[in-house]
Homo-oligomer: A and B are copies of this chain.
Amino acid sequence: MEKKIRIGITGYGNLGRGVEAAIKQNEDMQLVAVFSRRDPESVGVEDKSVKVLPITEARDYQAEIDVMILCGGSATDLPEQGPEFAQFFNTIDSFDTHAKIPEYFAAIDKVATNSGKTSIISVGWDPGMFSMNRLLGEAILPEGETYTFWGKGLSQGHSDAIRRVPGVKAGVQYTIPIEEAVNRVRNGENPTLTTKEKHLRECYVVAEDGADLREIEETIKTMPNYFADYETVVNFISEEELKNNHSKMMHGGFVIRSGVTGAGNKEIVEYSLKLDSNPEYTASVLVAYARAAFKMNQMGQAGAKTVFDVPIGLLSSKSPEQLRKELL
Q: A267-B281, A284-B141 are in contact. Are A323 and B308 (CB under 8 A)?
A: yes
- Which residues does chain B contribute within 8 Å of A272, judged by CB atoms? 269-272
Q: Which of A122, A310, A312 has the most CB of B within 10 A?
A: A312
CA distance A280 to B264 in the complex (A): 11
Residues from chain B with Cβ under 8 Å of A209 in the complex: none
Question: Which size bracket describes the interface of A in this complex?
Answer: 35 or more
Contact call B308/A284, Cβ cutoff below 8 A: no
Contact A268 B261 (CB under 8 A): no
For the complex, give the distance between the alpha carbons of A265 and B122 in Å: 23
Instruction: Name A316's contact: one of B21, B129, B139, B306 (CB within 8 Å).
Output: B139
A143 part of interface (Cβ distance < 8 Å): yes
A285 (CB) vs chain B CBs: closest residue: B140
A168 vs B248: C-alpha distance when bound (angstroms): 57
Cα of A92 to Cα of B18 in the assembled complex, Å: 40
Return chain B residues, CB-CB under 8 Å to A323. Answer: 135, 308
Q: Please name all residues of chain B whose beta carbon is closer than 8 Å to the beta carbon of A321 when the two chains form the complex.
A: 102
Q: Which of B18, B281, B306 contacts A324 (CB 8 A)?
A: B306
Is A316 a contact of B135 with CB atoms below 8 Å?
Answer: yes
Question: Which chain B positions have C-beta within 8 A of A259?
Answer: 284
Q: How many protomers of this protein does the assembly include?
A: 2
Chain B neighbourhood of A271, CB < 8 A: 269-272
B284/A315 in contact, CB under 8 A: no
Of the candidates A142, A268, A273, the one having the most CB atoms from chain B within 10 angstroms of its own CB is: A142
Bound-state Cα–Cα, A291 to B138, Å: 14
A327, B131: Cβ atoms under 8 Å?
Answer: yes
Subset of 12 A-B contacts with CB under 8 Å: A134-B327, A135-B315, A135-B323, A139-B288, A139-B291, A139-B316, A248-B265, A261-B284, A268-B274, A269-B272, A308-B323, A309-B320
**Chain A residues within CB distance 8 Å of chain B:** 18, 21-22, 25-26, 98, 101-102, 105, 122, 127, 129, 131-132, 134-136, 138-143, 248, 259, 261-263, 265-277, 280-281, 283-285, 288, 291, 306-313, 315-317, 320-321, 323-325, 327-328
List the 8 closest pairs (A to B, CB-CB), nearest first: A308-B313, A265-B276, A261-B280, A265-B277, A139-B315, A268-B274, A21-B262, A139-B316
